Amino acid sequence: MSSLAAQLITNGIIAGAIYALVASGFSLIYNVTKFMNFAHGATLALGAYFMFAFVSGHVPFWAAIILTLIATVIAGEVVNRVVYKPLRKRKASTAVLLIGSLSAMIFVNAIILAIWGADIKTIQLPWQNPVLNIGGVLITGVQVTIIMVAAVLLLGLWLLMKRSRLGIAMRAVMNNKEVAQTVGIDPERMYSITFALSSALAAVAGILIGIEQNLHPTMGTALVIKGFTGAVVGGMVSVPGAIMGSLILGLAENIGIWWLPSGYKDAIAFALLFIFLLVRPQGLFGKKTREA
Amino acid sequence: MMLHVDKLDKHFGGVYAVHNCSFELAKGKITSVIGPNGAGKTTLFNMVSGTIVPDGGSIRFNSKDITGLPAYKIARQGISRTFQLAKVFKNLSVRDNLLLAKQTTDDVLLAALKQVRFTKSLDVLAGELSYGQQRLVELARGLLFPHQLLMLDEPTAGVNPLVRREIAEILRNLRRQGSTIMLIEHDMDFVMGLSDHVIVMNEGTVLTQGPPGKVRNDPAVLEAYLGK
Amino acid sequence: MALINYFIHLAVLIGIYAIFTVGLNIAVGFTGLLNLGHVGFFGIGAYTSALLALAGVPLWIAIPAAAIVAGISGLVLALPTARLKGDYLALAALGFTFIVGSVARNWTDLTRGPLGLPGIPRVVASTPLFLVIVVVLTVIIALAVHYLMKTRFGRTLQAIRDDELAAATLGYNTFLHKVIAMGISACIAGIAGALFAHYISFIDPSVFGIGDLILVLSMLIVGGLASIPGSIAGATIILLIPEPLRFIGFPSSLIGPMREILFALILLIIIIYRPKGILGKVDLQ
């Protein structure tokens, strides 16, 4: 295989892993609450900016990560309580929750813009980011980390959703809130746990992406759209499926620009999104759901 | 015979909801379809009205094959129906709800409402009515829609005994005027006192059929309801 | 003097966005199609009219042509998507907008990409006169749509919104109605887009952005679904509310984010506490 092709494929896997980081948290929320939380992108951005703030404040790197996780989880729960819970009380449809999440996204993005400004920021690693050369293909240490984290997430979330008691409780709430209550599951508590987990995933994604790329106030918007696309391609109803779909998306984008001008990378993603929504909305790995 | 249903099949994910179901509907009569829960009655209705597409078999209405046609085309053939849970257009007035069935004057609309014993104003929003009132509006709408066959899915579900008697009276009036009615019902007294013909469904197919007296005394019917 | 010009400018924008919102209301408020991609039609109208005008086509042909192209793209989008349910329709429409935006950014031979199209000819040189034109158009379109929704066709759209299945059993071809509604809605959005292009004299791919989408959605929801006066009120409120910020003396770097925060808050408050909006007839579903 030519080294250009190998590099493109590697870039595809890296991009796919980044999208998978985003898609995992997004898909987790969908799988428990049935709505598409676009504010996930803003949570991710918040995670990146918290990390930036701690690192700039000379907090030791690993402590900064822990603090960022805590701060982002708290922020995520605040949004859940202030925005989504009142809407759930009104029995809002998932479409309304989606609009609510768009508002929350704008709100958080604006706060980030107001506090940190529009200029591009970077997160400094306390050590050098090594560039590895594996058989002619270039890849950095950070990128390898991202791929490994994505793989761990794939396995971990699959185990969580399918095998753990918590995962089963979550899926029970998603399937039928009322019935879940009759076996003693508290839906609101499940939602809080889900949001906490999802925010933590967003923080991890924000930190890694912030280090790998850079920070700007609307970084989350483009990413959540890609993550969402990955989830649609792989299958919204399955968290591992969303991760796999993201990988496929990353590969499709990077292999696609072999033929198309590189500016069309996004267009490839959107075209995939559109086609899947029309032709196979349950995604590659999802099952067709019955009409209720 | 106005309606011929021949060996109708419908399955959902490997389970048959309706299987090898066949019967005929006579013009100018009230035919009731009864059977235990899960017998496939509503699925059958949905296939006849075009809401669901059958997997096998055929449906002929006035000698025309309507199998698998979309709901709006079947409606235009002259089949009018109501639903198990009253479906009114909540954000539209009673008047608009009825005008959608037939573009006509207020007087005609009021006459239809009088026929179903609905007493409130045409200007009220359908969503503000009580459930029982919504049922009446839906019934009036179903009557106004130009049709030869009227299909009613559990017309007395969730209504009090007084309204139930009124509905029975309305249906008798309609039959006197020559209407053909097919209904799904669970209330045995209602069915037996009103129907010309009763079709008993069980496990997706027709168990037996005939005049109310014959069906009421059929041990197989009793077993279907109780013997599980 | 400058103050008058400032108000006239605001009024023009309110008129243009009111037209945009009225169009969106047809699809969302009256027919129940949650079309998140409406900015796509605005942008298509803007770019089509601009490109035609820059190629020398007189405006009285370019603007209607742009409206027709936008309308046709609405029909084209509706054909595959009208069968989808709620969220999926919304997102497919959004995806469509992203695709069109991406094309606008990348087909640089045609659109000059991110550089945008400057020097778009104005309808009239005088802004106050343009305001009069916009107001007249707004009133005509608003009245036309308002009365269209009272006809049998309009009633059918609303029935489809309230209960599509029941509408089908009354003999209405619901798919066809949804496609037509989307087409009309897109056409009107295209008119707004063309007017915008010929007023600001410059457009770039940012017209396809998510920011504008949420802006118009706010106008629609705050004003109220299924209410034409509501759409005009919504456009007015959303465009006017952030204006006092200019005068309060915020540092200029904060004005942008403050506007966004205000929009987000207003939208959130409305959907949580008053889903009908100010003049709406229908709850947001």
- Tokens 């508590």 label which residue? A189
d(CA C138, CA C141): 5
Contacts of C165 in chain B (CB under 8 A): 51, 71, 87
- Percent over 90 (pLDDT), chain A: 17
Average pLDDT over residues A213-240: 87
Q: Give the nearest chain C residue to B150 (CA atoms).
A: C169
Among C residues 77-116, those touching chain A with beta carbons less than 8 Å apart: 80-81, 84, 86-88, 90-92, 95-96, 98-99, 102-103, 105-106, 113
Chain centre distance of CA A57:
27
Q: Are strands B30-34 and B64-65 parallel, antiparallel or unpaired?
A: unpaired
Contact C169 B89 (CB under 8 A): no
Work out the pLDDT band at C187, boundaries 50, 70, 90: very high
Average pLDDT taken over every residue of chain A: 85
Chain A interface, best mutation among C84, C268, C273, by max A CB count within 10 A? C268
The reported pTM is 0.88
**Per-residue pLDDT tens over the stretch A58-75:** 888 888 899 999 999 999
Percent pLDDT > 70 in chain A is: 98
Tell me the average pLDDT across B94-109: 92
What's the Cα-to-Cα distance from A94 to each of A58, A283, A284, B153, rounded to whole Å? 42, 19, 23, 30
Cβ-count burial C258-275 (b if 16+ within 10 Å, e if not): bbbbbbbebbbebbbeeb
pLDDT of A268 higher than 50 = yes
Please name the fold of domain B3-226.
Rossmann fold (3.40.50)
pLDDT over 50 (residue B46): yes
Instruction: Kindly calculate the radius of gyration of chain A based on its CA atoms and give it in whole angstroms.
Output: 19
pLDDT of amino acid C24: 94
β-strands B149-153, B79-81 pairing? parallel
What's residue C6's pLDDT? Answer: 87
State mean pLDDT over A92-104: 86
Q: CB-based contact (8 Å) between A90 and chain C?
A: yes
In the numeric block, the tokens 């006197």 are attached to: B176
How is residue C150 written in tokens? 């009272």
Residue C241 backbone class (left: φ over 0; alpha: ψ -120 to 50; beta: rest) = alpha
* Predicted confidence band of residue C195 (pLDDT cuts 50, 70, 90): very high
Q: What is the per-residue pLDDT across C208-238, written as a single tens digit (0 to 9) for each?
A: 887 788 888 889 999 989 899 999 999 999 9
Q: Which chains touch A (3 or more CB pairs under 8 A)?
A: C
Average pLDDT over residues C253-275: 84
Q: Which residues pair with B4 in a beta bridge?
A: B24, B60
Nearest CA in chain B to C150: B96
> What sign has the CA pseudo-torsion A259, A261, A262, A264?
negative
Most confidently predicted of A121-125, B1-5, C164-168: C164-168
Residues of chain A neighbouring C257 (CB-CB closer than 8 A): 110-111, 113-114
Q: Residue B96 in contact with residue B131, Cβ under 8 Å?
A: no
Concatenated DSSP letters of C118-137: --PPPS-S-HHHHHHHHHHH
**Contact with chain B for residue C226, Cβ under 8 A:** yes
Cβ contact C94:C36 at 8 Å:
yes
How does pLDDT run across C122-166, given as a tens digit for each residue? 888 888 889 999 999 999 999 999 999 999 999 999 999 999 999
Are C127 and C9 a contacting pair, CB within 8 Å? yes
Cα–Cα distance measured from residue C231 to residue C203, given in angstroms and rounded to the nearest whole number: 24
Alpha-carbon distance of B66 to B226, in angstroms, equals 35
What does the pLDDT average to over B63-81? 92
Write down the mean pLDDT value for chain C.
88
Please give, rounded to a whole number of angstroms, the shortest distance from the CA of B71 to a CA of chain C. 6
User: Is C176's Cβ below 8 Å from some Cβ in B?
Assistant: no
DSSP label at residue B151: E
Residue C189 has pLDDT above 90, yes or no: yes
CA distance linking residue B151 with residue B184, whole number of Å: 8
Distance from CA of B95 to the nearest CA of C (A): 11
Q: Can you tell me the mean pLDDT for B7-35? A: 89
Q: Is the ipTM of this complex over 0.95?
A: no
Single out the residue of C73, C74, C14 nearest to residue C196, CA to CA. Answer: C14
Residue pLDDT, tens place only, B174-192:
888 888 999 998 888 888 8
Q: Chain C: nearest CA to B102, how far in angstroms?
A: 9
Strand residues in A115-159 grouped as ranges (E):
131-134, 137-140
* Residue A291, pLDDT score: 36
Mean pLDDT of B200-215: 87
Interval B131-141 mean pLDDT: 89
The domains of chain B are located at 3-226
CA gap C47, C12 in Å, rounded? 19
Q: Which chains touch C (3 or more CB pairs under 8 A)?
A: A, B
